[in-house]
Chains A and B, each alone.
Chain A
Amino acid sequence: MSAGVLFDEPGPRTRARHLVYNVVAVLAVLAVLGFVVYRLNETGQLEYAKWEPFVTPDIVRAIGEGLLTTLKMAAVAIVAAVVLGMALGIGKLSEHRWLRWPCWLFVEFFRAVPLVLLIIFVFFGVLGSVEDFNSKAFWAVVIALTLYNGSVLAEVFRAGIQAVPRGQGEAAYAVGMRKHQVMRQVLLPQGVKLMIPSIISQCVVALKDTSLSYVVAGVGLTRVGKSIYTEFANHVPTLIVISVIYICVNLLLTALATWVQRRFVGEKKILAVGAVAGFDVTPGTAAPLTPGR
């Protein structure tokens, strides 16, 4: 159902009324924006000195390097999480209880624990003896992101494999394939196709979560932002610039996910899993993915 069917085709009077609403809404939004700009100007946030760092070559280069570190963190974490998620997802589908249960516990635990706690624990507890502060922070974030995203992706993998029509697996067994052959040659190739858009969406989540490195003094873009506003006391401009960078990268990733979905999966909705067992984020498509409900 699209939004269009929620209301009738407007007649002349309604159209006039909607025009009034439109004008009022536009004016309201403009008033708020205008007020923001007014306050920005009034408090001197629009002064050239506050924005100058962002056209200074050295600082622009530092921001670029920070962005690169951030992207590197997200990329390493996602690649590791895909591997971990595949192992856990297949483990959760195993026929052996001794394999299924630990995988289940692992996934449920790390999906429910806040990343901030994980990062603090890995930073002080696990990597406590590492000397180099920067690489300690980098790896604390990467390990925490891997554990969390790996657990989420485990569910995506499980859902993706279960979304492959059952006849496929049954047919493979019928022609005499072994269990690992069925998984490797029949179920995974078809399932992975369904998973790729969700994996890309998970990249957006991971990229946003790299900013949590702030908790342990920061790595990448967050650190650069922090140094800039500490030095130039231009908090608002810095936050705006850093946010815009994050938004642009994330929108690109989202567009990529949508394109891949259209190109390889078709009309079906993107697989989505919630933070806790039993929740699928897209209603309506939930039923075939979770046999328990």
Chain B
Amino acid sequence: MEAVLDNWQIVRDAFVVTVALVVISGIGALVWGTILAAFRVSPVQALRVFGTGYVSLARNTPLLMFFLFFQLGAGKLWDVLGFTWVSVHIGSYDFTSFFAGAVAALTLYTSSFVCEGLRSGVNAVDLGQVEAARAIGLPFSGVLRRVVLPQAFRTSVPPVVSALIAMVKNSSLAGIFGVLELANRMKGLTNNHADQRTEIFLVFALLYIVIVAAFSIGAATLERRWKVAR
């Protein structure tokens, strides 16, 4: 336990970095996932094909490949994708190319699961709602934006939050690629304090559980609040 207590500042900083990583990638995944879901139900066939293709490729590729691509490959193809231009320093926290690469990998991977969650929500919207929306003459964009998506967001809270929770856990992969977050610090402490490995593991596991719990409490609140409107 001393290993963690003596290094509590490192652990705290790592926690903040993990939270930042999760929040930024989460917002990205929600936005891109929503766009993909809209593509997949749109009347334009090319967009549907693109959406379906993207989702089935991204879902079946290990997340590690996304990370490897952004850390090793992307910069070689096009220096913009090396994210060397990212260099934000807030207080003692540095958000550099490693962080940006991790955000890109997590966003592109998670968005395919968000898209699937939203699509199942779209499928759960009552048929009469859509027919009514069409009957009053709304075009496709109006049907989607004003009638279907608001309801789909509500029904798809559980699957989407599930995808985001999986993303919280997946964010630990960033630690292997140079981001100084929880998993990275845990590996360091584990190597330096061989006699306290179990305690170190439990503390870091608990920190992740705190983030996961925050997500599930938030989702439960949203679900309760939105149930009335459904």
Contact digits for B150-169, partner A, Cβ 8 Å, 1 yes 0 no? 00000110110110011011
Q: Which residues 34-79 of B have a CB within 8 angstroms of A?
A: 40-48, 50, 56-57, 59-65, 68-69, 72-73, 76-78
Q: A155 to chain B: closest CB distance in Å?
A: 12
Q: Which residues of B contact A51 (CB under 8 A)?
A: none
Q: Does B180 contact A (CB under 8 A)?
A: no
Contact between chains at B172 and A117 (CB < 8 Å): yes
Q: Which residue of A lies closest to B68 (CB)?
A: A239
A120 CB contacts on chain B under 8 angstroms: 183, 186-187, 190, 201
In the complex, the answer to whether A279 meets B219 with C-beta atoms within 8 Å is yes
The listed residue (A7, A117, A209, A286) touching B186 by CB distance below 8 A is A117
Q: Could you tell me the dominant secondary structure of chain B's interface residues? A: helix
Kindly list chain B residues whose C-beta atoms are within 8 Å of the C-beta of A21.
Answer: 44, 46-47
Interface size counted on chain B using CB atoms at 8 A = 78
**A117 B134 Cβ-Cβ under 8 A:** no
| Interface pair B56/A113, CB less than 8 Å apart | no
- A274 contacts B158, C-beta separation under 8 Å: yes
Alpha-carbon gap, A280 to B159, bound state (A): 7
Interface size on A, residues (CB 8 A): 63
Chain B residue contacts of A242, Cβ below 8 A = 65
Chain A: CB-nearest residue to B201: A121
Q: Is A168 an interface residue (CB 8 A)?
A: no
Q: Are A6 and B144 in contact (CB under 8 A)?
A: yes
Closest chain A residue to B169, Cβ basis: A114
The stretch of B8-16, B24-32, B86-94, B119-127 that contacts the partner chain: B119-127
Decide if B64 touches A22 in the complex (CB within 8 Å). no
Chain A positions 1-37 with a Cβ under 8 Å from a chain B Cβ: 1-3, 5-8, 10, 18, 21-23, 25-26, 29, 36
Chain A residues with CB below 8 A from B41, complex form: 3, 6
A22-B45, A214-B64 given; A39·B134 CB < 8 A? no
B73 lies within 8 A of A235 (CB): yes
* B220 pairs with A278, CB closer than 8 A: yes
A107 to B134, CA, bound (A): 46
In the assembled complex, which residues on chain B have CB atoms less than 8 Å from the CB atom of A128?
194, 197
Residue B140 interfacial (CB < 8 Å): yes
- Give the residue name and chain of the A residue nearest to B126 (CB): A1
Is B99's beta carbon under 8 Å from chain A? Answer: no
Q: Across the interface, do A275 and B134 meet the contact criterion of CB distance under 8 Å? A: no
* Also in contact, A124 and B190, with CB within 8 A (given A8-B134, A114-B183): yes
Q: Mark B177-219, 1 if CB is under 8 A from A, else 0.
A: 0000011001100110010011001001100110011011001
* B16 CB to nearest A CB, Å: 17
Contact of B209 with A246 in the complex, beta carbons under 8 Å: no
The answer to whether B155 touches A284 (Cβ under 8 A) is yes
B143 within 8 A of A: yes
Task: Verify B127–A247 contact, CB threshold 8 A.
Answer: no
A39-B205 contact in complex given A6-B143, A25-B50, C-beta closer than 8 Å: no
Q: In this assembly, does A59 line the interface, its C-beta being within 8 Å of a C-beta of chain B?
A: no
Chain A residues near B190 (CB, 8 Å)? 120-121, 124-125
Complex formed: what's the CA distance from A121 to B198 in Å? 8
| A69 within 8 A of partner (CB) | no
Interface of A is mostly: helix
- Which residue on B lies nearest to A226, using beta carbons? B68
- A7–B62 touching, CB < 8 Å: no
Given A45-B76, A113-B205, A6–B130 Cβ distance below 8 Å? Answer: yes
* CB of B209, distance to nearest CB on chain A (Å): 5
Question: Is the pair B77, A211 in contact by a Cβ cutoff of 8 Å?
Answer: no
A39–B158 contact, CB under 8 A?
A: no
* CB neighbours of B124 from chain A (8 A): 1, 283-284
- A selection of 20 A-B contacts at a CB cut-off of 8 Å is A1-B122, A1-B124, A6-B122, A6-B143, A7-B43, A8-B134, A45-B77, A113-B209, A114-B172, A115-B169, A128-B194, A208-B62, A239-B69, A246-B60, A251-B56, A279-B219, A280-B158, A283-B159, A284-B123, A284-B155
Show the binding face of A for B, using Cβ within 8 Å: 1-3, 5-8, 10, 18, 21-23, 25-26, 29, 36, 39-40, 43, 45, 109, 112-117, 120-121, 124-125, 128, 204, 208-209, 211-212, 214-215, 222, 229, 235-236, 239, 242-243, 246-247, 250-251, 254, 274-284, 286
Residues of chain B at the chain A interface (Cβ within 8 Å):
40-48, 50, 56-57, 59-65, 68-69, 72-73, 76-78, 117, 120-127, 130-131, 134, 140, 143-144, 148, 155-156, 158-159, 161-162, 165-166, 168-173, 175-176, 182-183, 186-187, 190-191, 194, 197-198, 201, 204-205, 208-209, 212-213, 215-216, 219-220
Given contacts A120-B183, A125-B190, A281-B158, 15 further A-B pairs with CB under 8 A are A7-B43, A23-B46, A114-B168, A208-B62, A208-B63, A222-B64, A236-B76, A239-B68, A243-B62, A246-B65, A250-B60, A278-B158, A279-B158, A283-B156, A284-B124
